Amino acid sequence: MAPLSHILEGMEIKVLHGEFFVTIEKRFSSFALFGGMVSTEFRPYQISMKHQGTKHDNQILTQMRMWLVYHPPGLKDLELQLRNIKSDSTFDLVCKVLHVCEGPSGEWIFYVWDGTDTPATELQTLLDTEAVTPTPLHPEEAPLPREVLCTLPCVGTVLRVFSNRFSKEILHLQKDIYWARFCNITCKQEFGMWKGSLLPSSRIRLLSSEDGSVIERLKTFNGRFATQVHREPMASLHTASDITDVEFKRAGYTTLMESLTHGQVTHKFKTLVRVVAAYPCQGKELHSLLTGDYCLRLTLEDPTARIHAYVHKDNAVSFFGGFLTLAALTRKMNRLLGVPEPEDDAEEGMAGGRNPPWIWCCLKSYRLDKYDPWGSRRFCAVEWHDGTSQYLVTSVNPIKIGYLVTFKLVTPNTLKVIVFNEDDSVEFRLENEGNTPRNILEKIVWNKDVEIWQMKEKMPLYRLKGPLDNAPPARDFVAALKASYDRTALPALIAEVKKASPSRGVLRENFDPVEIAQAYEKNGAACLSVLTDSKFFQGSFDYLEAIRNAGVKCPLLCKEFIIDAWQLYYARSKGADAVLLIAAILPDRDISYMLKICKILGMAALVEVHDEREIDRVIGIDGIQLIGINNRNLETFEVDISNTKNLLEGERGQLIAQKDIIRETERDGEEEEYLLLGLMSLTRWPWWRAPAAMVIGARQP
């Protein structure tokens, strides 16, 4: 039927929630219907009895016909399936509403599905931000709890649709699962994921299961689910890459969502995914995977879910097919990530976009803790390449360093990992007997790894970074130390706020961190050090925040066992001006990386060493301003007061002085001629209220 042009008289037009409503009173209104095609014919083919034309009708009709040429009807209300959606288009969507919840920011989130896959997105070529902000695994702020996740379909994309307003349909959708028509909605891509939005003019119409559109969707899905090939990602059909040749005997194709919702923790499966992000992904850092103590983090996705995966350095050589040159290694990684070759970019005119290929991977799911199987669940992915298998440590949760990597880094000794494959299970064992921490430091760091994982679940990085943009700048920790030394000609004092320690127990029962900090500042301390580890030192980040909010002006050092860059942002959010980095638990690359993050946040970093090997490592790292010498062996907690003097003698001490690196140690002996500043825990003794000069000149009882 040809488009129609209507001329109405005596009508009332109202706008409500972005939609136009026309009210016609039959007793007074009239109308005339004309053909909508461009024509010189101005006679109506239907007219009401009361209609009377005017001299302006022909001009209005011509304008309306020309407008229809450039705005054909039906495009706005186009009904699409998820497989056909496009960015920033407006359309109707017939879908099943699986879950509705209110997000942390007050917006409503609809989880909808129609049995098809959203199109694979083109991603940004720029990957430098992966170092600070890993690619997110889902559009919403917080992941779904497992009990809700297990109710979602395992084939087809579940689209998140966001709305800033409450509607009466939400009450029905929260009580049961309905099919519905989302009218006049739009979609866009964020971080390579589709995100739906309700517009002011959007409407939700609940549908019967007998509705024709619903029956059509179910028929399409049933046909897809019946065959193995059609269950695979729609975008991957006939395009799966042969970059890696994967074969897993007795394992059928499984989506990532099928694995995430599997009834048993231990299982194996074969899947088809894209590598949407990696860190590191280029340059010398990527090449160092073959020779250094590093790991590679991959972000894998299929239409149903995303996960983060890690390639450990022991498997990097086999993963990349040998010790490749830097150029060859970069080319292979670019191919996995879909980064176009320079000549391809020029020929096709691509502007910074990439489209990763689909590759086959095989994964195994296992648990770390038999008492918490789902909370400690991890994935081990076995990727076969030229007949050689390698293992990727993966996690459902987006953590920077997995358990295997953490175990390897907590001590100076190499930690060997043995992989057993018995009865279709994968078990990781440590060489030390009993699979327990071998010393106090290892015990602290293992506990810290679990603690950080739990804290990151409650406070993701993106929620920390927002408030920091408007936070006041950090106080200059280094300048405060130098100013104190210049003013007094005595070692500057970093006074420590510490309630307890593993070796001495509780230092002060009646512990008021704010009162102690204010007394330190009043009596001349240059800076303050605040213990934040709760389990072993009875410290707290709340102490740090309380001292800062109490108006203490001394720069604050967050004394924590830092093993993850997330901790730097968290410390800064609590008021820290500097942080402690311990060389005994961090490799050089992590120290260098964290120094860069500290610089971005405006914080100083005090790098602590204990022996010759650690201090020689740290001296060679660019950006070191503060070195702390700990006379206490962190593995045994034994103290050797001659340690500082031995480490600063000879050429090493001269090199430190030439680099203008500030040295720090605990005040305990006659070694202060080698120091620029001193660090003491004064909480236990009566002179925590004494002037700093008196404290520095005295000896501990």
How many Å is the maximal CA-CA distance in the chain? 112
Mean pLDDT across 161-176:
83
pLDDT of the residue at 208: 84
Rounded-to-integer distance, Cα 209 and Cα 174, Å: 18
Mean pLDDT of the chain: 75
Report CA dihedral (168, 170, 173, 179) to the nearest 10 degrees.
80
Concatenate the DSSP letters of all residues of 313-337 into one string: HHHHHHHHTSS--HHHHHHHHHHHH
Torsion over CA of 333, 336, 338 and 344, rounded to 10 degrees? 60
- What does the pLDDT read at residue 269? 81
What is the arithmetic mean of pLDDT over 65-75? 59
Note if the bond before 280 is cis, omega within 30 degrees: yes
- Closest by CA to 700, choosing from 685, 679, 678, is 685
The answer to whether residue 228 scores a pLDDT higher than 90 is: no
Residue owning tokens 């680099």: 659
High-pLDDT (> 90) share of the chain, %: 21
Determine the pLDDT at residue 15.
57
| Spatial contact of 582 and 561, defined as CB atoms under 8 Å apart | yes
Ranking 218-232, 376-390, 540-554 by mean pLDDT, the lowest is 376-390
440, 637 in Cβ contact below 8 A?
A: yes
- Domain borders along the chain are 4-70, 79-231, 235-436, 461-697
Q: What is the model's pLDDT at position 244?
A: 40
What percentage of the chain has pLDDT greater than the value 70?
A: 69
Residue 18 or residue 584, greater confidence? 584
- Kindly give, in sequence order, each residue whose CB lies less than 8 Å from that of residue 162, ignoring residues fewer than 6 positions away: 103, 107, 108, 109, 110, 139, 195, 196, 197, 198
For residue 409, is it left (φ>0), alpha (ψ between -120 and 50) or beta? alpha
Q: Residue 571 has which token pair? A: 């410390």
Whether 79-231 shares its CATH topology with 461-697 is answered no
Q: Burial of 303 by CB count in 10 Å (0-12 exposed, 13-18 middle, 19+ buried)?
A: buried
3-state secondary structure at position 614: helix
Beta bridge partner(s), residue 102: 108
Q: What is the 3-state secondary structure (H, E, C) of 569-593?
A: HHHHHCCCCEEEEECCCCCHHHHHH
Average pLDDT over every residue of 359-369? 77
Give the Cα separation of 665 and 653 in Å (integer): 14
Asked which of 13-27, 316-330, 401-415 is least confident by mean pLDDT, the reply is 401-415
- Which pLDDT does position 167 carry in this prediction? 78
Task: Evaluate if residue 582 carries a pLDDT over 90.
Answer: yes
Cα 360-366-368 angle, rounded to 5 deg? 140
- Tokens 């690619």 belong to which residue? 135
Q: What are phi and psi of 231, to 5 degrees?
A: -75, -20
Alpha helices in 18-126 (DSSP H): 57-70
- Is 246:270 a contact under the CB 8 Å cutoff? yes
Query: Which of 43-52, 315-324, 554-563, 690-699 has the least mean pLDDT?
Result: 690-699
Q: What is the DSSP letter of 566?
A: H
Choice among 106-115, 272-281, 600-609, 629-638 with the minimum mean pLDDT? 629-638
CATH architecture label of 235-436: Beta Barrel (2.40)
Strands 377-382 and 358-367: antiparallel
What Rg value do the Cα atoms of the chain yield, rounded?
33
Q: How confident is the model at residue 130 (pLDDT cuts 50, 70, 90)?
A: low
Query: What CATH number belongs to 79-231?
Result: 2.40.50.140
Q: Does the pLDDT value for residue 553 go beyond 90?
A: yes
pLDDT greater at residue 414 or residue 656: 656
Residue with token string 């590759």: 359
Q: pLDDT confidence of 571, banded at 50, 70, 90?
A: very high
The sign one gets for the Cα dihedral 434, 438, 439, 444 is: negative
How would residue 516 be classed by pLDDT, with cut points 50, 70 and 90?
very high
134: phi then psi, degrees, rounded to nearest 5: -60, 150
Question: Residue 421: phi, psi to the nearest 5?
Answer: -130, 85
Higher pLDDT, 674 or 174: 174
629-646 pLDDT per residue, tens: 888 776 666 777 777 777
Name 171's bridge partners. Answer: none
Q: How confident is the model at residue 288, as a pLDDT?
A: 67
**Local confidence band at 194 (pLDDT 50, 70, 90 cut-offs):** very high
- CB-CB contact of 656 with 619 (8 Å): yes
Q: In whole angstroms, give the CA distance from residue 481 to residue 361.
A: 54
pLDDT at 595: 92
Kindly report, residue by residue over 521-531, the tens digit of the pLDDT.
Answer: 998 899 999 99
Cβ-contact 180, 97 below 8 angstroms: yes
More confident of the two residues 80 and 689: 80
SS3 552: coil
Most trustworthy range by pLDDT among 30-34, 77-81, 382-386, 512-516? 512-516
Per-residue pLDDT, averaged over 253-265, amounts to 88
pTM more than 0.85:
no
pLDDT, residue 248, reads 44
What is the pLDDT, as a whole number, of residue 316? 64
Task: Map residue 385 onto helix, strand or coil.
Answer: strand
CATH of domain 461-697: 3.20.20.70
SS3 labels along 455-486: HHHHCCHHHHHHHHCCCCCCCCHHHHHHHHHH
Contacts of 688 (CB under 8 A, 6+ apart): 495, 516, 519, 520, 682
Report the pLDDT value the prediction gives residue 347, as an integer from 0 to 100: 43
490: which DSSP letter?
A: S
pLDDT of residue 112: 95
Map residue 234 onto helix, strand or coil.
helix
pLDDT for the residue 637: 66
Give the pLDDT confidence score for residue 556 in this predicted structure.
Answer: 96
Q: Is the pLDDT of residue 72 over 60?
A: no
pLDDT, residue 558, reads: 96
Categorize the per-residue pLDDT at 431 as very low, low, confident or very high, splitting at 50, 70 and 90: very low
User: Alpha helices, DSSP H only, in 34-116?
Assistant: 57-70
**Where is mean pLDDT largest: 366-375, 418-427, 578-587, 688-697?**
578-587
- Report pLDDT digits (tens) over 376-427: 877 765 553 323 333 333 333 332 333 333 333 333 334 444 333 333 333 3
Residue 93 burial (C-beta neighbours within 10 Å; 0-12, 13-18, 19+): buried
DSSP letters along 115-127, please? SSPPPPPPEES--
Q: Which amino acid is at 480?
A: A
111 has a pLDDT exceeding 90:
yes
Look up residue 39 and give its two tokens.
């024509």
d(CA 446, CA 229): 44
Handedness of CA 692, 697, 700, 701 (dihedral sign): negative
